[in-house]
Amino acid sequence: MTDTASRTDSTTVAPVPRQSAAPAPSVPPVATPAYVYDMATVRSAHARLRSWLPEPSELYYSLKANPHPDVVSALYDLGCRAEVSSPGELAAALEARVPAHDILYTGPGKRDEDLDEALKAGVREFAVDSEHGVGQLDRAAARHDAHVTYLLRVNPGGGSRGAGLRMTGDPSAFGADAEDIAAHPERYTGGENARIAGLHLYLATNIADEQALGDSFSEAIAVARTLREALGVPLRTIDLGGGFGAPYARAGELPAYPGLAERLAGELDEALPGWRRNEPTVAFESGRYLTATCGQLLTRVLDVKNSHGQRVVVLDAGINHLGGMAGLRRVPPLHPDVVRPDGNPAEPAGTGTDGPDDAAEAPGPAMICGPLCTPLDTWARSHPLPAVAPGDLLAVPNTGAYGLHASLVLFLGHPAPLEVVTDGGRVLRSDRLTFVRRDGAA
């Protein structure tokens, strides 16, 4: 959250209007649209991810996937540190009572004000992406009379798999080129107030295939080994990044990586002996694996009609609440499953047949639209959907990561959806973000 966004408590949870079918027990009776995040599912996703990781290792939760304070504090309680990359994510981590010393502040472009704010809050671990970033952090730390450490983010480029570094990779805002670090290590080891303490590699995202994910970590390990020698200074942390996959707005399970821990442990024994004693500490990062499955977006049907032979269903949630970034290819293309809230897409309509105004009898595929005044607000042109009628409750599964916070909430001025926190079905909290215009000088 920025300081122009705040969370409004809404203790009265509206009853479900016109809900003639009993909702599944996992669906609390809430007003829609609503994101529901279940903490029991966060805990099981965390346990599952930990079981794939070599021990000992640290795990950072990347707030980018879902900065809801209750999600963040659940993951902190489970032992995750917080990886933040903006003032809003920093505020969310602090609101979740993550101690500043457990926060890693990353990002390829940081304003001096951002660093000042983080330093003032007590953050002492950063990631930097360039020679300039090293100097900027050193000067900021000096302003605060602080001594900080940083992980140097590395852009290994492509073609660096295996021994040595062949730099044929892509230009990127992220990280300093491995080749340049190896050639000029003194530029990257820090100054009086900010010293290098490790390397930060983040080479992949959303890889369900164990072999491919393992290969990406192998590359990270090889690069870390080479640069550790080139830098010639003690490195406390080797952050190997992430890449763990998760279903996105579709039914499905978290991928399994049963052989990953053993494979990586063997490679780490070779490349970074001492890692079993935390010399260096090996770290991983995840956003989506930890949170994707905890969330579902509940939405109600606002209208159903036939338009030139096509069934058109208009929902109370659209690209303003889910998938706005899919068009930017920042997240995978959105092909959401819109299902009955119990997760069963095949269930015949239990509602919607009780009124004379019901428009849809034939459950053919439907065009699924949101409420926004733009034809862009279409989740699907032709999606299987049982017969539905205005007022029916539907759900998009696995939207706990890159859901609300990767969407276009300001576009067209609808209120933000409710965010409801549950634990095994029990509602713990229900509120929504609001956006307030403030004096820019304040």
Ligand X SMILES: *Cc1c(COP(=O)(O)O)cnc(C)c1O
Nearer to ligand X, 248 or 394 (CB): 248
Nearer to ligand X, 205 or 218 (CB): 205
For ligand X, the binding residues in 96-115 under the rule CB under 6 A are 106
Q: Does 65 bind ligand X (CB under 6 A)?
A: yes
Q: Is 299 within 8 Å of 33 (Cβ atoms)?
A: yes
**Minimum gap (Å) between residue 132 Cβ and ligand X:** 19
Q: Is 287 within 8 Å of 62 (Cβ atoms)?
A: yes
Tell me which residue has its CB nearest to ligand X. Answer: 287
Q: Does 64 bind ligand X (CB under 6 A)?
A: yes
What b/e sequence results for 363-392 when a residue is b if at least 16 CB atoms lie within 10 Å of its CB, and e otherwise?
A: eeebbbbbbbeeeebebbeebebbbbbbbb
**Minimum gap (Å) between residue 65 Cβ and ligand X:** 4
**Minimum gap (Å) between residue 246 Cβ and ligand X:** 8
Q: Does 202 bind ligand X (CB under 6 A)?
A: yes
Query: Is it true that the peptide bond before 56 is cis, omega within 30 degrees of 0?
Result: yes
d(CA 429, CA 416): 16
**Minimum gap (Å) between residue 4 Cβ and ligand X:** 23
Q: Which stretch binds ligand X (CB under 6 A): 58-66, 345-353, 371-379, 432-440?
A: 58-66
With vertex at residue 244, the alpha carbon angle to CA 239 and CA 247, rounded to the nearest 5 degrees, is 155
Q: Does 217 bind ligand X (CB under 6 A)?
A: no
Nearer to ligand X, 198 or 241 (CB): 241
Q: What are the strands, taking DSSP E only, across 16-73? A: 34-38, 58-62
Of 130, 155, 206, 237, the residue at the interface with ligand X (CB under 6 A) is 206
For ligand X, the binding residues in 265-294 under the rule CB under 6 A are 285-289
Which of the 8 DSSP states describes residue 409? T
d(CA 207, CA 199): 22
**Minimum gap (Å) between residue 379 Cβ and ligand X:** 21
329: exposed, middle or buried (C-beta count within 10 Å: 0-12, 13-18, 19+)?
exposed
For ligand X, the binding residues in 236-255 under the rule CB under 6 A are 241-242, 244
**Minimum gap (Å) between residue 305 Cβ and ligand X:** 38
Ordered DSSP codes for 124-192? -EEEE-SHHHHHHHHHHHHHTT--EEEEEEEE--SS--SSS--------SSSEEHHHHHH-GGGTSB-S
**Minimum gap (Å) between residue 350 Cβ and ligand X:** 35
Number of residues in contact with ligand X under rule CB under 6 A: 17
**Minimum gap (Å) between residue 90 Cβ and ligand X:** 15
d(CA 147, CA 131): 18
Nearer to ligand X, 254 or 304 (CB): 254
Q: Does 155 bind ligand X (CB under 6 A)?
A: no
Alpha helix (H) ranges present in 272-390? 288-291
d(CA 53, CA 242): 11
Contact positions toward ligand X, by CB under 6 A? Answer: 62, 64-65, 83, 106, 202, 205-206, 241-242, 244, 285-289, 401
